[in-house]
Amino acid sequence: MDLPTEIKNAENLLIQFEKAITDLTENDADKFSIAFGDIGRYLSRNPESEHSLYAQRLRINYTRRLLEEVHLFPVLPESCWLNFRWSLEPNDLKTVFKERPDLISGYECIRNQYPDETFSHDLDHVITRAEERKKRLFG
């Protein structure tokens, strides 16, 4: 399959992120956020593309990977944790949690790293709020 450049670039960033997990830096964390942003933009512009399913699966797989490995991350600036949180798509989280409810603890770990009232609410409220934010921003 000949993937669009945006998806290839996003996948390369995610591979770099995954390779760096045990020695994660702020730059590596940014790669995750950039990749997820690129995938989201691609999907919003090309919802019926032959590559949209691949892009969605890529995002779900790396959401799962992030939640599996988050406990191994070193100390990172609060901005990294906030970027991780806002990079995660509510529907992807629901899919991952349905398959692997044990990964809710990974999400809770991310929530607990950013001491802001946004993360003091329960998971359902946070997901609902993110969906509303996405609708306001992207229509």
In angstroms, rounded to a whole number, what is the distance separating the alpha carbons of residues 9 and 93? Answer: 23
The answer to whether residues 58 and 1 touch, using CB atoms and an 8 Å cutoff, is no
Instruction: Tell me how crowded residue 49 is: count the other CB atoms within 10 A of its CB.
Output: 14
- The token pair that represents 27 in the structure block: 């730059």
pTM of the model: 0.81
Tokens 């702020």 appear where?
26
The domain of 13 spans 5-138
In angstroms, rounded to a whole number, what is the distance separating the alpha carbons of residues 41 and 20? Answer: 25
pLDDT tens track of the chain, all 139 residues? 699 999 999 999 999 999 999 889 999 999 999 999 999 999 999 999 999 999 999 999 999 999 999 999 988 888 888 889 889 998 999 999 999 999 999 998 988 886 655 544 555 566 666 667 667 766 6
Domains identified in the chain, total number: 1
Instruction: Tell me how crowded residue 31 is: count the other CB atoms within 10 A of its CB.
Output: 20
